[in-house]
Amino acid sequence: MITTTLGQMAAMCGGTLSQEQHRELPIQGVFTDSRQIKQGSLFVPLVGERFDGHAYAESVLKDGAGATLWQRDRGEAPAGAVILVDDTLAALQTLAEAYLAEVGCRVVGITGSNGKTTTKDMVYTLLSTTYKVHKTGGNFNNHIGLPLTILEMPADTEIAVLEMGMSGRHEIERLSQIARPDVAVITNIGEAHLLQLGSRHEIARAKVEIISGMKPGGLLIYHGDEPLIPTVLGEAETVKPEGLRTFTFGLDQSNDDYPTGMMFHSKGIIFTSLLHPEEGLDLPLLGQHNVINCLAALAVARHFGITEENIRTGLTGLHLTGMRIEQIVAPSGLTILNDAYNASPTSMKAAIDALHSLKGYHHKVAVLGDMLELGPQEKEFHAEIGQYAAADRVDVLYTYGPLSEETAEAARKIRPDLSVFSFTDKAELIPHLIKRVHAKDVVLVKASRGMKLEEIVDALVKENLQK
C-alpha cells in the first residue's frame, strides 16, 4: 500500500498542507470510513448520500489516524495533520493515479455487464503463477473502489487486475483515465443497469469507454459474439488509443478463440479451444458462460507469456468470489447453486443453462427472484425468464418478489403441468421449499443483490431434509 510522507501525499493529490510542521510525517495507507480506522493512515472524508465523512475527521485524528484530507468548502479544518483540497473524491482519485504511475506496474482493466468479478479472479489466478499480481477485492469496482484498490497495492506489484463497473455513461471513462490499462477486457454486453442507460447500445458505449485511457499499443480483448462492440468501436465519437490491438473470444467460430469441445461434469467443465487444442483444460466452475469468461482470461494470460503448464496449474487452484454460481453441498446432501450475488436476463439464462447441464439429480429446482434496474421492459424480461426456465430446463420453479410474479405466470402459461410456486415473503417461501426439496435434488438460487436470496441459501444449508 501507499507509504510515503504527508508532504509527498499533498503533492501527489494536488492538495496543500494546513501546517508545514507535518510535512515529513510518515503515512501508510488510506481509508474512507471512520468506523474502520487504520492507524497511521490518511483518512479521506467523502460526502455521501447518508453521511458527510468530514464530521468524523477530528475524531479519527484523535483515535490514531495519521492525517486527514479536508475539503475547503466544509468550514474550518481540524487542527493537526491536514491536507486541504477542493474535492476529496477527486483528490483520492488523483492520489491513486499518481501512486499507480510511481509503482509502474502493468494494468489489466476488466469491464462488461456480467462476469467482471469472475474473469478478474480467473486472470488473477493465471497471472499469479508467474507475476506478483494485485487485484480488486470483492466488487470494489467504482469511482471509489478502484482508487482504493490501487492505493492498497504493494509497491512491488508487477501487474494490477482492476475491475471497472458503471451504472452510467462516462464512469468507466474516468476509471480508465485513472488506471491507464495496458490490456482491457469487455466480458459481454447484457442488460445490467438498463434502467439508467436506456438501451443495450448505450450500455455498449459505456463499456467501450474502457479504451479511452488505454496506453498506446494496448490490447482490447472483447466478446466477439456481441455485434454492438465493433459497432461502437467504429462510431465517430469513439476515440481509440494509438495502435490499439483487438482480440475476440466467444462461441462463434468467427472469433480469434472459441471452444472446440466441452465436457460438462458435476464440478466443472473440461474444454478445448482453437488456441488450446491439446488435452482439455479442466475449469472447476459450472456454466458454459464460465468457459467463455475463461477464454478471455486465457487471452490475457497468453499476452503476458503464461505457459500452458502454468495455465493448467493455475486453473486447478481457481477460487471464485462467492455467490457466483457457487456450488454448495449441504450436510443433508442437498446441492445448492448459490448464484445470489446479482441477476439480469443474460446471467439468469446462463444460470438456468448451468442447472440444466447437471446430471444425476432427482429434481432440478430453481428459486428465481426479481431482477432490478431493468427499466420499462422489466415485466417482459421476467416473463421471458419464466418461459426460458419452463421450457424443459427445470422440474420445479419457485419465484420470489413482485416482478417475479410475471416469471411464474409465464411459466404456468407454457407449462400448466410444471410445479410453480410464487411468493413475496421469504418467511413463507422457505418452509414451503424445505418441505418440498429432497437431499438428492439440486437447487439454483438467483436474484438481484437487493433481494438478498442468500437468506434462502443459508436456510437450505441448515436444514435436515427428507432423504
Ligand X SMILES: Nc1ncnc2c1ncn2[C@@H]1O[C@H](COP(=O)(O)OP(=O)(O)OP(=O)(O)O)[C@@H](O)[C@H]1O
Ligand Y SMILES: C[C@@H](N)C(=O)N[C@H](C)C(=O)O
* Pairing of the two strands 219-223 and 159-163: unpaired
Task: Verify binding: residue 342, ligand Y, rule CB under 6 A.
Answer: yes
241 binds, among ligand Y, ligand X, ligand LIQMQMZN, none (CB under 5 to 8 A by kind): none
DSSP 227: T
- Interface residue with ligand LIQMQMZN among 112, 165, 250, 268 (CB under 6 A) is 165
CA distances, 297 to each of 77, 226, 260, 289, 306 (Å): 47, 18, 17, 13, 11
x/- site string to ligand Y, residues 391 to 430, per CB under 6 A? ----------------------------------------
CB 228 within 8 A of CB 255: no
> Is residue 111 marked as binding?
no
Task: Verify binding: residue 256, ligand LIQMQMZN, rule CB under 6 A.
Answer: no
> Is residue 332 marked as binding?
no
310-339 residues near ligand X, rule: CB under 6 A: 324-325, 339
* Separation CA 156–CA 198 (nearest Å): 42
Location of C-alpha cell 479511452? 212
> Is residue 118 marked as binding?
yes
- Interface residue with ligand LIQMQMZN among 88, 118, 128, 141 (CB under 6 A) is 141
Nearer to ligand LIQMQMZN, 138 or 227 (CB): 138
Q: With the CA atoms of 294, 297, 302 and 308 taken in that order, what torsion angle do they form, in degrees rounded to the nearest 10?
A: -40
> Is residue 462 marked as binding?
no
**Spatial CA neighbour of 404 closest among 443, 450, 437, 442:** 450
Location of C-alpha cell 442468500? 454
- Interface residue with ligand X among 32, 71, 94, 118 (CB under 6 A) is 118
x/- site string to ligand X, residues 61 to 100, per CB under 6 A? ----------------------------------------
Task: Verify binding: residue 33, ligand LIQMQMZN, rule CB under 6 A.
Answer: yes
- Interface residue with ligand Y among 95, 96, 283, 372 (CB under 6 A) is 372
Task: Verify binding: residue 248, ligand Y, rule CB under 6 A.
Answer: no
* Separation CA 310–CA 364 (nearest Å): 36
Nearer to ligand X, 146 or 465 (CB): 146
Q: Which residues contact 38 (CB under 8 A, 6 or more apart)?
A: 29, 30, 31, 65
Task: Verify binding: residue 117, ligand Y, rule CB under 6 A.
Answer: no
Task: Verify binding: residue 50, ligand LIQMQMZN, rule CB under 6 A.
Answer: yes
The DSSP code sequence of 350-382 is HHHHHHHT--S-S-EEEEEE---S-GGGHHHHH
145-164 residues near ligand LIQMQMZN, rule: CB under 6 A: 145, 148
Q: Which residues of 45-66 are buried (b: 16+ CB within 10 A; e: fewer)?
A: bbeeeeeebbebbeebbeeebb
Q: Which residues of 123-132 are buried (b: 16+ CB within 10 A; e: fewer)?
A: bbbbbbbbbe
The annotation places the binding site at: 112-118
Where do contacts with ligand X occur on this chain (CB under 6 A)?
A: 112, 114-118, 139, 141, 165, 187-188, 192, 289, 292-293, 324-325, 339, 341-342, 346-347, 350-351
